[in-house]
Amino acid sequence: VSGLAEIIKAGFIADPVILDLIEADPAGARSPRGPQLPELIRRSLQVKADVVARDLKEAGPREILNYGHTLAHAIERSERYTWRHGEAVSVGMVFAAELAALDGRLPVEEVARHRAVLTSVGLPVTCRGDRWPALLDTMRVDKKTRGARLRFIVLDAVGRPSVLADPAPELLEAAYARIAAPAPEPEPGGRSGEPRRVLVLSGPNLGRLGSREPGIYGTTSYAELAETCRSLGKELGLDVDVRRSDDEAELIHWLHEAADLALPVVLNPAAFTHYSYALRDAVAQRTAPLIEVHLSNPHAREPFRHRSVISPVASGTIAGLGTDSYLLALRSLAGPDPRAGAEPAAAPGAGADR
């Protein structure tokens, strides 16, 4: 769904047929098997190719591809990249449309069309009202500013983009007020109404679950495990981001990301468990709980699997319970917000292996 924002952007700046196709069948546009999706993709790519071909050296005309992006980049940075790019662009386009309407350029009916098209495919059109001061500060240092002057791509009509340079502060504030949503009320116990983001990271060979030694690792595929983790996350009020890599460097990069954003982590290091001091040092930098998980019981297997270099720097370890090891870890992280300093309770089955 997030990727549809860039397709819709192409419709607003250059090809209204894109908007017509989505309005005719929003569900089909959302579906990977939707009959019009190939045509939507083709048209959006053609828009970008035409714009770039007219401005190979980025002298100016290519700037229209930034429609919605000035606020979008600020949202991404302010929210510490917990928003998907397309979600931020969606809100940014509605903000730009409101700016254009307030400046007398765009009919209010076209602002309403922005909201209708974007919401019909499941994209957001609001941002928290209390974020505005931080977003404004962030926009002022965006790469598209000229000195301290903000520049926005806006529409004079669908298919007619233009530049709004250095808009008055009161105009910016009024436009943001029209897309502002109330901050979520705290839930009992101090938890925010926003889902808590958790990374679930898996290491080498786990992509072959279901076919790899099923007597040890079970018959559940990795895709099924990932979907189960996401589904349980929704039940628990968590935004579960599931990732897997056979590459040690990529896992380290993700652990650095988690440390920078104070994200809790469920980590199955797989074979890296036993010897990767680089992975161990990345885990040691954690700023939120990290639970090491393994499908099998390492102490019932070969001697080389008995040692974990990860366990000493993890919050806890759950092993030997198959895919339930992941689910128990998520349930542990769904307790009081671990970013407030709490560590999860000791987990059963402490040990180390994949």
Q: Is 167 a catalytic residue?
A: no
347 vs 31 pLDDT, higher one? 31
Which entry of 140, 208, 212, 256 is annotated as an active-site residue? 212
Q: Say yes or no to pLDDT of 138 above 50.
A: yes
Q: How confident is the model at residue 291 (pLDDT cuts 50, 70, 90)?
A: very high
Q: How confident is the model at residue 186 (pLDDT cuts 50, 70, 90)?
A: very low
Contact 206, 222 (CB under 8 A): yes
Which entry of 113, 294, 305, 354 is annotated as an active-site residue? 294
Q: Average pLDDT over the chain, rounded to whole? A: 86
Options 3.40.50.2300, 1.20.1090.10, 1.10.645.10, 3.20.20.70; CATH of 4-181: 1.20.1090.10
Residue 344: left (phi > 0), alpha (psi -120 to 50), or beta? beta
- Give percent of the chain above pLDDT 90: 56
Q: Which of 345, 288, 347, 344 is nearest to 317 (CA)?
A: 347
Which entry of 299, 301, 331, 339 is annotated as an active-site residue? 301
Q: Say yes or no to pLDDT of 353 above 60.
A: no
The token pair that represents 12 in the structure block = 């607003």
Note the pLDDT of residue 327: 93
Which entry of 26, 124, 167, 204 is annotated as an active-site residue? 204
Q: Is 297 a catalytic residue?
A: no
Across 53-73, b (16+ Cβ under 10 Å) vs e yields eeeeeeeeebbbbbbbbbbbb
- CA separation for the pair 321, 328 (Å, rounded): 9
Q: Is 169 a catalytic residue?
A: no
The residue ranges of every structural domain in the chain are 4-181, 196-340
Note the pLDDT of residue 313: 92
Note the pLDDT of residue 342: 40
> What is the average per-residue pLDDT within 100-111?
96
Q: Is 271 a catalytic residue?
A: yes
> What is the average per-residue pLDDT within 107-120?
95
| CATH 3.40.50.9100 fits domain 196-340 | yes
Contact 289, 343 (CB under 8 A): yes
Which entry of 176, 217, 222, 326 is annotated as an active-site residue? 217
Note the pLDDT of residue 183: 59
Q: Say yes or no to pLDDT of 120 above 50.
A: yes
Which entry of 63, 84, 205, 339 is annotated as an active-site residue? 205
Q: Is 301 a catalytic residue?
A: yes
Note the pLDDT of residue 194: 61
DSSP SS3 for 126: coil
Q: Is 217 a catalytic residue?
A: yes
Which entry of 124, 270, 292, 319 is annotated as an active-site residue? 292
Which pairing describes strands 151-157 and 180-181: parallel, antiparallel, or unpaired? unpaired
Which entry of 271, 278, 284, 350 is annotated as an active-site residue? 271
The token pair that represents 43 in the structure block = 């048209």
Q: What is the torsional sign of CA 305, 283, 255, 253?
A: negative
Q: Range with the lowest mean pLDDT among 103-112, 195-204, 214-223?
A: 214-223
- CA separation for the pair 306, 297 (Å, rounded): 9
> What is the average per-residue pLDDT within 184-199?
60
Q: Is 257 a catalytic residue?
A: no
Which entry of 268, 269, 319, 344 is annotated as an active-site residue? 268
Q: How confident is the model at residue 59 (pLDDT cuts 50, 70, 90)?
A: low
44 vs 79 pLDDT, higher one? 44
Q: Range with the lowest mean pLDDT among 48-62, 65-79, 139-153, 286-300?
A: 139-153
Residue with tokens 């468990």: 273
Q: Say yes or no to pLDDT of 304 above 70.
A: yes
Q: Is 33 a catalytic residue?
A: no
